[in-house]
Chains A and B, each alone.
Chain A
Amino acid sequence: MNSKLSQISLLLFIETFAFLLAFSFLVAERTYSILITFVILVLSGYLVRRIHSVRQMIRTLFQQHKKIALVWSLIFLFILPILLKNNPYQIYILFYAGVFALLALGLNWQIGGTNIVNFATGASFATGAYTAALLAKHLGLSFWILLPISGLSAGILGFILGLPCMKVERYYLSLVTLAFTFIVYLLLINFDWTGGPDGIADIPFPKIGRFSFGSSIHLFGFEIPFQANFYYLTLFLVIITFIVSERFHHSKIGLAWNAIRDDEIAAECQGIDVTYYKILSFATNFFFDGIAGAVFAFNMSHISPESFTFNISVTVVAMVIVGGLGNTGGAIFGVLLMTIIPEKFQIFQDYRVLLFGFVILLMLFIRPKGLFPQPIRKYE
């Protein structure tokens, strides 16, 4: 590996290859093509992990040319909808994964950071979605104003939830979040002003100027289905959340969270205001969940309490655990794993939840820290 140029080309080649592989899995239609691409994916992933030299090489390549790797993958992500212009459903799946990514990233720094297992994602997600939906219907506010508002309302909820809970022991705190999710769900079903079990319908599509998200867009001469609008929106939000997550991690906040995770009392004796940081993790996590909720509501046009049950909370927890606690990239990976694969294995559609449970158990047995453990912070 000598010249920089050859290194970069190798890097780009590997990235492209991986990307195309994943892409082919995404668009495969027939059962055998699905299975084949899936097997190839798993095998290559496995081989890369196992064969130390390959793994090292890839790792060094990526580290040395981080910016280029990033830009290249961004390019791919950007042109993705063009490649998928005839598969609107696939674009939708990616959007759906994006929403979950927003949920998972927030939860990742809460569980991975402070080790508080928060089962209230269903509640925070619902808060964002309903806030957006209700304000859109009754006040006619535009989506763009509602986005931060939903985030804020959920964030405030997180703050309210976190405040009295600071003395509660970690284990019991999980139970509180659990009970909270149920309460929110039950209230949503029973209140009239939230639409009861039917939820809220006819939420309009977001607009930029006169361009509605419901219409298809033209990019480089291609006509792309309207789902792409949401895809780009979500992509943008995920990137921002990703950056925020990384910034949290590499800062005194992330360190404080980890300290609290490992030993709360010792953390406090180092001058860390444990209460503040715990509440912070709640509030920030909920904030991003709220934003995800707003995006979700405006895409679905119709929301009902059924989308915000305990199951969602468990699903997101599972994604974070599978991907790796405290590892931002890992969380995204977990999300992709658990949204795209179940979608592709439609034949297992009915068994999906069962498989979820099994996968969680499996992961706990073989890799309780997740596929990608939290990396050690380096400073130079």
Chain B
Amino acid sequence: MIYLIEQIYIALMLSSNYILIAVGFTLFFGAINIVHFSHGDVAMIGSFIGIILYTLADLSGIHRYLPPMIVNSCIVVLTLGLVGILGTFFERTVIKPFRFSPMLITLVATVALGIVIREFVRLFYPQGSNPQLFPKIFPQTAFQFGKLIFLHEHLIILGIGILLIAAMFLFINHTRIGLAIRAISQDIEAASLMGINFDIVIAITFLIGSILAGVAGILTGVYFNVVKFDIGLMAGIKGFSAAVVGGLGNFYGAILGGLLLGFAESFVSAFIPGGSPYKDVCAFTIVIFFLIFRPSGIVGEIKYKKV
């Protein structure tokens, strides 16, 4: 029983990771109909920025002046902000120019961008090819329920993630800009005719998506304790898979997909003997299965071809 609860906990952490990235994919696809293959790498950048900022804070001795909680909160906020800006920067430089080109080109462009990002980190970050230790940003205390131990740091970052997702949800559904985002995802031409500056709205979409990816990056760092330059590739593909499985373009789909994938992966690892090395295979097989038999995902709409 305890084992089960532990596994559920692990699954939840994994799922949140995927959800945070999947939401980005779904946002981007919904808004401008592209698949941002390097979105996972943006998350990876998030974790690295976290490390850098922490190291800087450490070196500058700022700890002498401010309580750790404030410093660390600043680090988190700054990381998210920087990731958001970087993500939007990537969109401006690599995705925007191909906005009206065939999808094939954007696809390859984002794949190439991912390569560039990964290599940049690998080459220019000191010891980039090796795993990096993620600093202890959050208090290292824990809950204890009988034999179960829940680390506070996990819960904090999880909480931040949930909060931001909820905030994003509210934002999209209850603000004017959110309305604009939804309008664009329906019909970009009509939206612009209505006076919506879709350029700016798209930039905001990427800002939001990238910030969430940043949270995923920090979550990974906190939970797994180490990060490496290539975790973005896998994370991105799995996040995308989660979005597709749930229903690309549908926000709830991203959540469902993330949960499905996260749970499938951790349960295969935990309950199927000898299954651990195959957990990734399991995730990908689920994706292929969905893509073939139900490409619109769990909650996606079935689109009819207009001929």
A167 interface residue per 8 A CB criterion: yes
How many angstroms from the CA of A164 to the CA of B288 in the assembled complex? 10
- B111 interfacial by beta-carbon distance below 8 Å: yes
Mark A residues whose CB is within 8 Å of B: 111, 115, 117, 164-165, 167-176, 178-180, 182-183, 186-187, 189-190, 265, 310, 314, 317-318, 321, 350-351, 353-354, 356-358, 360-361, 364-365, 368
Other-chain contact of B94, A171, A318, A361 (Cβ < 8 Å): A361
Which of B51-59, B113-121, B170-178, B264-272 faces chain A?
Answer: B113-121
Q: Are B109 and A354 in contact (CB under 8 A)?
A: no
Residues from chain B with a CB closer than 8 A to the CB of A183 are 281, 284-285, 288
**Which one of B111, B116, B123, B233 has the highest number of Cβ atoms from chain A below 10 Å of its Cβ?**
B111
Q: B interface, how many residues as a size bin?
A: 35 or more
Q: Is the CB of A182 within 8 A of B94?
A: no
Cα separation A171 to B35 with both chains bound (whole Å): 9
Interchain CB contact under 8 A, B288 and A117: no
Residues of A within 8 A of B244 (CB): 172, 175
A212–chain B nearest beta-carbon distance, Å: 38
Check B119–A357 contact: CB distance below 8 A: yes
Question: A265 to B284, Cβ gap below 8 A?
Answer: no
Chain A neighbourhood of B285, CB < 8 A? 179, 183
Task: Let me know if B112 is at the binding interface, CB within 8 A.
Answer: yes
Verify A168–B107 contact, CB threshold 8 A. Answer: no
Give Cα A347–Cα B35 distance, bound, in whole angstroms. 35
The answer to whether A175 touches B115, judged by C-beta atoms less than 8 angstroms apart, is: no
B interface residue numbers (CB < 8 A to A): 35, 94, 97-98, 101, 103-105, 107-109, 111-116, 119-120, 123, 233, 237, 240-241, 244, 277-278, 280-281, 284-285, 287-288, 291-292, 295, 305, 307
Chain A residues closer than 8 Å to B112, beta-carbon distance: 318, 356-358, 360-361, 364
CA distance A168 to B103 in the complex (A): 15
CA of A355 to CA of B250 in the docked complex: distance in angstroms?
36
Q: How far is the CA of A353 from the CA of B112 in the complex (A)?
A: 10
In the complex, A117→B114 CA distance in Å? 17
Q: Given contacts A175-B240, A190-B281, A314-B111, list 9 more A-B pairs with CB under 8 A.
A: A164-B292, A168-B295, A176-B292, A182-B237, A182-B284, A183-B288, A186-B278, A361-B113, A364-B112
Contact A186 B280, beta carbon cutoff 8 Å = yes
- Once A171-B35, A171-B103, A186-B278 are accepted as A-B contacts, the answer to whether A165 and B292 lie under 8 Å apart by CB is yes
Residue contact B115 to A190, C-beta cutoff 8 Å: no
Residues of B within 8 A of A321 (CB): 108
Task: Compute how far the CA of A171 lies from the CA of B116 in the bound complex, rounded to whole angstroms.
Answer: 22
Among residues of B, the one whose C-beta sits closest to the C-beta of A173 is: B291
Q: Is the interface of A mostly helix, strand, loop or mixed?
A: helix
Residue of A nearest to B97 (CB): A365
Q: Are B123 and A351 in contact (CB-based, < 8 A)?
A: yes
Distance in Å from the Cβ of A317 to the closest Cβ of chain B?
A: 7
- CA distance in complex: A266, B27 (Å): 32
**B97, B284, B307, most chain A CB atoms within 10 A:** B284
Report whether B291 and A176 are in contact in the complex, using a CB–CB cutoff of 8 Å.
yes
What residues on A are CB-neighbors of B120 within 8 Å? 354
Partner of B233 from A111, A176, A310, A364 at Cβ < 8 Å: A310
B119 near A182 (CB under 8 angstroms)?
Answer: no
Q: Across the interface, do B103 and A353 meet the contact criterion of CB distance under 8 Å? A: no
A310–B108 CA distance with the chains assembled, in angstroms: 13
> Within the complex, what minimum Cβ distance (angstroms) separates A50 from chain B?
24
A186-B278, A265-B305, A351-B123 known; A175 vs B116 contact (CB < 8 Å): no
Would you give the shortest CB distance from B40 to chain A, in whole angstroms?
12
Nearest 7 CB-CB pairings of A with B: A357-B115, A354-B119, A360-B112, A357-B116, A179-B284, A190-B277, A357-B112
**C-alpha spacing A173/B105, complex, angstroms:** 15
Instruction: Please name 18 pairs of A and B residues whose Cβ atoms are closer than 8 Å in the assembled complex, sorted by A.
Output: A111-B104, A168-B295, A170-B103, A173-B291, A174-B107, A176-B292, A179-B287, A180-B284, A182-B280, A190-B277, A318-B112, A354-B123, A356-B112, A357-B112, A360-B112, A361-B116, A364-B112, A365-B97
**Is A364 a contact partner of B281 (Cβ separation < 8 A)?**
no
Q: Chain B residues near A170: list those with CB within 8 A.
A: 103
Closest to B280 in A: A186
**By CB atoms of chain B within 10 A, which of A180, A310, A368 has the most?**
A368
Given contacts A168-B295, A354-B123, contact A265 B241 (CB under 8 A): no
Residue of B nearest to A315 (CB): B115
List, in ascending order, chain B residues with CB within 8 A of A186's CB. 277-278, 280-281, 284
| CA gap between A329 and B284 in the complex, in Å | 35
Instruction: Check A115–B104 contact: CB distance below 8 A.
Output: yes
User: Contact partner of B98 among A179, A356, A364, CB < 8 A?
Assistant: A364
Closest A residue by C-beta to B115: A357
Distance of B47 from chain A, by nearest CB (Å) = 20
Q: How far is the CB of B122 from chain A (nearest CB, A)?
A: 8
Q: Are B123 and A350 in contact (CB under 8 A)?
A: yes
CA distance A351 to B122 in the complex (A): 10
From residue B258, how far is it (CB to closest CB) to chain A in Å?
A: 16
